[in-house]
Structure 1
Amino acid sequence: MSQTVSTSLDYSADVVVLGAGPVGLTIANYLGQVGIRVLVIEKLDTLIDYPRAIGIDDEALRTLQSVGLIDKVLPHTTPYHWMRFLTPKGHCFASIEPKTDEFGWSRRNAFIQPQIDKVLLEGLKRFDQVNTLFSRDMYQFDQDSEGVNLYMRTAEGTEERVRCRYLIAADGGNSMVRRTLNIAFDGKTAPNQWIVVDIKNDPLGTPNIYMCCDPVRPYVSAALPQGVRRFEFMVMPGETEESLSQPDNMRKLLAKVLPNPEKVELIRQRVYTHNARLAAEFRRGKILLAGDAAHIMPVWQGQGYNSGMRDASNLAWKVGMVVKGLAGEALLDTYQQERRDHARAMIDLSVMAGHVLAPPKPWMGKLRDGVAWLLNYLPPIKRYFLEMRFKPMPQYEKGVLVKPDMKLTHNPVGRLFIQPKIRTESGDVCLLDDVIGAKFAIIAWGTDPTWGLSQEQIAFWKHLGTAFIQVVPSVQMLAPTTLSDDVIRVGDEQGRLKDWFGQYPASVVVVRPDRFVAGLTLPQTLEQTCSRLSQALAAKAVSHRASVEPIGKVA
């Protein structure tokens, strides 16, 4: 059937974000705070109000910190939320209890997604040049060398056309954009489904999350903030969402986990199918895929949400720099280079965890229980689980980074930089990122971070908005200094920055806006490192436009 499209231009923006989920809203918040004109388009008439993700990690919290919303997010979380795997008899054979906070936050946290999504949506109101349109059905789009046209209908059937320089498709696992572009989405769909049951006034009240590996019907029991309890039960062959939702059948399910299944306050129940799929491409011209549109994975390690937030953190600063004329468009190619392999690793981890909970074959369950019992008595193996060392941390081999010339047994380039507490000149103690802001940083231990740079390079990195930071032990903060006004001096409050630099024969680190290490060097070789980084950025010394017009109906 032919479509009648709008020929008049109704909206224009630098960037259109399709989808008001956590990934799209986070990207919009980041771009808003760096002055980019953003239009968020959502098909639904409001945010999704039912809980989906329940686990948020330290990397995602750091991303929310970078958009200035962490103080509004934390009240909706439970820090240090341990995950314990139980045998059918209730014996804990593996416990995941990471107590590290190297990135500034607890590594595992419980949360209720709609509450955080609402914080992100409200956060957009801070920016005059960011607008959100709900109840818009985007049914067609096309792109050219200058940008993208989008055609959509309102709930009343009014036709509208939008023009933007870049489209970020964060429109979910069934992404219309990905399907229209015919980008492969290879992977598998799990053969079984799970029913999720949320209950208020938690009838158990015990903290943490428990994965019970019951061969008859595996289930999950998770304590959530605000006194909510989530149960997840495997759906058996022949069962349907309709049949399981019947009061008698729901009581039978809950009798497996509660002493009194009659005395509950049910919020909702939904049946889910778990998929493990990865898009063949994350970028096609002026269009980029993010979040579930680029990859989906089973829930068992809580990495679907967090992988999407990693996309947002990686992509937003790159799009912002390109739009502002601070970098060439080739920078956007590094998004797929850096994110796709790690997304695949998280998919594999999530599938593996699902097999631990519900092995495909009965003999695998018996082998799991026996091996787990034995390994639990080996301290190194026990620490491996407790400290969550099995989680593949992102390490980029290509992209916006310069590999160090020195020989290192442990290379930090391409990895996330730590975020310890620091002391400012005013005597306040805060986290490192709060001093850096949403930009590059050149951080030097004990020395002036600008000493190894030419005046031209200092001007170049200042043009990018770089923070120049000197780190000293906190006890030295009262000593006089002769640093220039461009340099921020901070105190190493916990000694962690000294320990970090002490691992390497280098004292200067270049940190990207997403907090990944782009380069590691000495003051005497900083100039060469920064020159190579500017090439990786495809950087341009172009002034940003003088003013930013708010989005509105085009006259």
Structure 2
Amino acid sequence: MSLAPAPSTLELTADVAIVGAGPVGLMIANYLGQRGVNVTLVEKLDTLIDYPRAIGLDDESLRTFQAVGLADKVLPHTTPWHAMRFLTPKGRCFADIQPKTDEFGWSRRNAFIQPLADRVLFDGLQRFSNVKVLFSRELDSFEQSDSAVVLNLKDQHGRSERLNARYLIGCDGGNSLVRRSLDISFEGKTAPNQWIVVDIANDPLATPHVYLCCDPVRPYVSAALPHGVRRFEFMVMPGETETELSKPENLRKLLSKVLPNPDRIELIRSRVYTHNARLAGRFRQGRVLLAGDAAHIMPVWQGQGYNSGMRDALNLAWKLALVIKGLAADSLLDSYEQERRDHAKAMINLSVLAGHVLAPPKRWQGTLRDGVSWLLNYLPPVKRYFVEMRFKPMPQYTRGALIVPTATGSPVGKMFIQPKVLTDAGTTVLLDEVIGDNFAIIAWGCDPTWGLSATQIAHWKALGTRFIQVLPDVQLRVPSDAGQDVIRVGDSSGRLKEWFALGTSSIALVRPDRFLAGLAIPQTVGQACDDLARALKAVPPTSANAVVSKVA
């Protein structure tokens, strides 16, 4: 009896291969999917991770969900306007952080259930026939050339597969095999202490918000989450282990610190974890890029690990879409690390600092913290600085895919605002609903195409650009005198007029990730668009300096 020959290795192809079906990989796949890019997402587990992890979702991340058409799906799993309160051991609130600003269209701080948000992202992929998800696939190795990356995979039965892709994105977590295979450093520190997380259903406290109790004996966190879930986090003391702390009698002792009846609970799960603060030496090597925890990990105290990953996802995805479609050179991808690495480092530093506020390394530092915090109540401007989270370093890119500003204090490189606007059809929507997942040239009061040649207009339309004229909403009642490619919106809240009035420019060049890439007036918009095209490594227009003027 002869044996059948071993099956040959299955050959697969994709424009982009993503390793890791966590939130960052799922978000990138959604954006690329809606841009028509062929994506294969590889995950070693047989399903999505179902245990709770991150609990804080910020306004920038909600705007990213909005960019892929999934904001309405994830909102039911959030609690908006979620305050964060630091307490002394005696229960005095010395820092009440509850920012009410909504300049990006969403609540600044939101509690959420990560597994449910991840499920929204995964279900969103079902919209795209050009996106495939391969579960139970182990990445053995990969090789890259000047034109491709080849991934060697094994399925759950040990069968070999080869995935040929133009680019590989490693979204495979802090222990990233992709990063380690490239021998990229992951420098930083691991906190000397661990924490145990206890998630409970049918919240036994049911008080809103999140409380961080700075108890020198055993600091802890108490957080209200959507769907009646309560999270407690307790510092693990020297000599304690996960096995010991998870025993019912020891878990009861921990919970007796925060609950009058620690026996009457519905435990979901408990886990011990370690806080790390680490940053990859680089985010790109050839055709391989790192994103999310594979590129940076940080302590949880500002809820920025998940949100930093979302910033990575959108920053990288729109650039990769342009490159894949041949609308920009491969060198555009260098701007991903230029823009994201420094801000990720700043968020790591902020998260470490917040951890020291919660659990100071030395007892005297806690005493000093409590005294200083009491004095701050008598300094309203300083108190407002903390309450409104102005200490949070917002991303501002000073190099990369933008027109590098020369003026001090320029808003270029910052995220553009998102107020509600009135459409010509009479509906009120958030601004991004008009922009879509495109570039936008947004002009206050004037025709944004007036200073552009026909060639430039065609070029920016090919890049995916919406030309938007912003008017006082009462002016929408008269017929438009702008070009046929121009979309009119009414500034019903007055926020856009206020934004433009802060500077001397009337036209904003906005990228697909909503960051301001340049400023102009009608007479300089043509030159600004050419400058931005060069920064984007885009195919240059054939007649860059031709200007079309309109005669009244």
Q: Distance in 2 between matches of 1:171 and 1:493?
A: 44
Provide the residue aligned with 1:510 in structure 2. Answer: 509
Contact in 2 for aligned 1:52/1:113 (Cα 8 Å): yes
Alignment partners' CA distance in 2, 1:234 and 1:290: 29
Q: CA deviation at 1:366?
A: 0.6
C-alpha deviations, 1:363-401, integer Å up to 9, x for none? 111111111111122101110111110000000000011
Aligned to 2:32: 31
Q: Which residue of 1 aligns with 2:537?
A: 538
What does 1:116-127 align with in structure 2 at a 5 Å threshold? Answer: 116-127=117-128
Structure 1 residue 7: Cα displacement: 7.4
Structure 1 residue ranges (4+ consecutive) displaced by more than 3 angstroms after TM superposition: 5-9
- Give the secondary structure class of the aligned counterpart of 1:457: helix
Counterpart of 1:539 in structure 2: which amino acid? Answer: A
What whole-Å deviation, never above 9, does each CA across 1:197-247 have from its counterpart, x for those lacking one? 000000000000000000000000000000000000000011001101111
**Unpaired stretches in structure 1, ≥5 consecutive residues:** 543-555
Cα separation, 2, equivalents of 1:365 and 1:508: 49
Distance, in Å, in 1 between the alignment partners of 2:7 and 2:453 is 53
Report what 1:550 is aligned to: none
CA contact (8 A) 1:44 1:136 kept: yes
Q: Which runs of 5+ in 2 are unaligned?
A: 1-5, 542-552
**Pairwise mapping of residues 86-485 of structure 1 onto structure 2 (< 5 A)?**
86-404=87-405, 407=407, 410-485=409-484
CA displacement, residues 42-98 of structure 1 (integer Å, 9 cap, x when unaligned):
000000000000000000000000000011000000000000000000000011010
Partner of 1:527 in structure 2?
526
Counterpart-to-counterpart distance in 2, 1:7 and 1:187: 43
Q: Distance in 1 between matches of 2:494 and 2:142?
A: 53
Quick check: 2:291–2:309 contact (8 Å CA) kept in 1?
Answer: yes
Asked if structure 1 preserves the Cα contact closer than 8 Å seen for 2:14 and 2:166, the reply is: yes
| Cα distance in structure 1, aligned partners of 2:84 and 2:397 | 28
**Counterpart position of 1:549:** none
Q: CA deviation at 1:480?
A: 1.8
How far did 1:24 drift? 0.3
Q: Deviations over 1:310-360 (max 9, x none)?
A: 000100000000000000000000000000000000000000000000001
Q: Verify the 8 A CA contact 1:6 1:160 in the aligned structure 2.
A: no
Most deviating of 532-541 and 453-462? 532-541
- Which letter does structure 2 place at the counterpart of 1:508? I
Which residue of the partner structure matches residue 548 of structure 2? none
Q: CA deviation at 1:493?
A: 1.3
Amino acid at match of 1:420: P
Matched residue of 1:152: which SS?
A: strand
For 1:94 and 1:140, locate their aligned partners in 2 and report how far apart those are by CA, in whole Å: 48
- Per-residue CA deviations over 1:257-316 (Å, capped at 9, x if unaligned) read 001111111000000000000001100000000000000000000000000000001000
> Is the CA contact 2:168–2:289 (under 8 Å) kept in the aligned structure 1?
yes
Question: What corresponds to 1:546 in structure 2?
Answer: none
Distance 1:299 1:404 in 2: 33
Contact 1:88 1:214 (8 Å CA) reproduced = yes
Instruction: Find the aligned partners of 1:404 and 1:212 in 2 and give their Cα distance.
Output: 43
CA contact (8 A) 1:419 1:433 kept: yes
Alpha-carbon contact 1:148-1:165 (below 8 Å) kept: yes
Q: Distance in 1 between matches of 2:390 and 2:481?
A: 43
Distance (whole Å) between structure 1 residues aligned to residue 448 and residue 85 of structure 2: 45
Counterpart Cα distance in 2 of 1:404 and 1:380 = 29
> Residues 473 and 490 of structure 2 are in contact (CA less than 8 Å); yes or no, is this contact kept in structure 1?
yes
- The 3-state SS of whatever aligns with 1:523 is coil
In 2, distance between residues paired with 1:6 and 1:328?
A: 39
Equivalent pair of 1:404/1:521 in contact (CA under 8 Å):
no
- Contact 2:24 2:292 survives alignment (8 Å): yes
Q: How far apart in 2 are the matches of 1:422 and 1:507?
A: 17
Contact 2:68 2:437 in 1 (8 A): yes
- Counterparts in 2 of 1:6 and 1:147: CA distance versus 1, 3 Å: farther
**Paired AA for residue 454 in structure 1:** S
Q: Distance between the aligned counterparts of 2:54 and 2:258, measured in 1?
A: 21
Q: Which amino acid is 1:537 matched to?
A: L
| Residues 9 and 160 in structure 2, CA contact (< 8 A), matched pair in contact too | no
Residues 541, 34 of structure 1: CA spacing in aligned structure 2 closer, same or farther, 3 A cutoff?
farther
**Amino acid paired to 2:471:** V
Pairwise CA distance, 1:455: 1.4
Is the Cα contact below 8 Å between 2:398 and 2:405 reproduced in 1? no
Cα deviation 1:506-545 (Å, max 9, x = unaligned):
1000000000000011110111111111111111269xxx
- Residues 449, 483 of structure 2: 8 Å contact kept: no
Q: Residues 7 and 161 of structure 1 are in contact (CA less than 8 Å); yes or no, is this contact kept in structure 2?
A: no
Distance in 1 between the 2:305 and 2:225 partners?
Answer: 18
What residue number does 1:551 align with? none
On the 8 A contact 1:62/1:103 being kept in 2, the answer is: yes
**CA offset at residue 404 of structure 1?**
4.4
Percent of aligned positions with the same letter in both sequences? 69
- CA contact 2:471–2:489 (8 Å) conserved in 1: yes
